[in-house]
């Protein structure tokens, strides 16, 4: 790859594994130093750091809950203090809990899902924008469920729909500052979240209903984030890319 992100600094939430890990490594290959924010998968986060350092880049690890505004503020501040700047924010951390009826979604689950999946995007973007300059980029991970819905992930899909609206609204709010805001809406992608969320019979068939007949890999999604972070996408803001195996959705 050409070093399209040479000497830039990125924060990637949910970066210890899955899509977040692939994005962080992709950024490092393009020349960026990366701060990884994760909840509790310390060994996975350390492995991601080793991959990044193998590319000759620096990596910071921040363990904590992105649903807490104070943690988000400290993570951004420490990144800027350590690396001297902040050019890219990837809001990617998320959680989902399979429930077959709306009545089964507890207040605690509802609040937790929204705190992690959308409130954190507000918290981190708000802090990042204090340091971002012209040419910076924010990329938000939404989902195909924002467009198709999901009968067993009602609260999760609702947060993903909110992320689309957040992306479009924030992109307009910061356009005159020269900062771009875009999103990525993955379809079925093999990540640790899948076997942790679904019963074995559904995991076995995961992704087979796409036109391509299979689920995707994180490495097939990461290039979307690299593209949206660099000057190659300089005329794109408020948009969402759809790596989803060929499913046609609006938006």
Q: Would you tell me the crossing angle of helices 18-29 and 42-54 to the nearest 10 degrees?
A: 20
Where b means 16+ CB within 10 Å and e means fewer, 179-215 reads bbbbbbbbbbbbbebbeebbeeeeeeebbeebeeeeb
Distance CA 195, CA 31 (A): 33
Cα 132 to Cα 135: distance, rounded to the nearest angstrom? 8
173 three-class SS: helix
Element spanning 228, H or E: helix 218-229
Residues contacting residue 70 through CB under 8 Å, at least 6 positions apart: none
Report the alpha-carbon distance of residue 195 to residue 40 in Å, rounded: 18
Catalytic residue among 131, 156, 225, 235: 156
Known catalytic membership, residue 147: no
Please work out, in degrees rounded to the nearest 5, the angle formed at the alpha carbon of residue 250 by the alpha carbons of 249 and 251.
120
Beta bridge partners of 60: 35
Find the Cα–Cα–Cα–Cα dihedral 115, 73, 84, 11, rounded to 10°: -10
Active site residues: 156
């Amino acid at each position: 790859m050409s070093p399209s992100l040479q000497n830039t600094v990125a924060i990637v939430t949910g970066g210890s594994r899955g899509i977040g890990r692939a994005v962080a490594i992709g950024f490092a290959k393009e020349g960026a130093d990366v701060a990884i924010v994760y909840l509790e998968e310390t060994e996975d986060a350390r492995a991601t750091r080793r991959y990044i350092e193998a590319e000759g880049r620096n990596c910071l690890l921040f363990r904590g809950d992105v649903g807490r505004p104070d943690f988000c503020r400290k993570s951004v501040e420490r990144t800027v203090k350590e690396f001297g700047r902040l050019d890219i924010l990837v809001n990617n951390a998320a959680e989902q809990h399979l429930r077959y009826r709306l009545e089964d979604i507890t207040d605690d689950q509802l609040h937790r899902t929204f705190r992690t999946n959308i409130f954190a995007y507000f918290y981190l973007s708000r802090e990042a924008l204090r340091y971002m300059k012209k040419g910076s980029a924010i990329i938000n991970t939404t989902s195909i469920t924002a467009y198709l819905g999901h009968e067993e992930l009602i609260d999760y899909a609702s947060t993903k729909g909110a992320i689309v609206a957040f992306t479009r609204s924030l992109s307009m709010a910061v356009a005159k500052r020269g900062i771009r805001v875009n999103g990525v809406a993955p379809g079925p992608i093999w990540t640790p979240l899948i076997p942790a969320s679904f019963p074995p019979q559904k995991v076995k068939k995961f992704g087979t209903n796409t036109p391509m007949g299979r689920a995707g890999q994180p490495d097939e999604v990461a290039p979307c984030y690299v593209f949206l972070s660099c000057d190659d996408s300089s005329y794109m803001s408020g948009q969402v890319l759809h790596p989803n195996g060929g499913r046609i959705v609006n938006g």
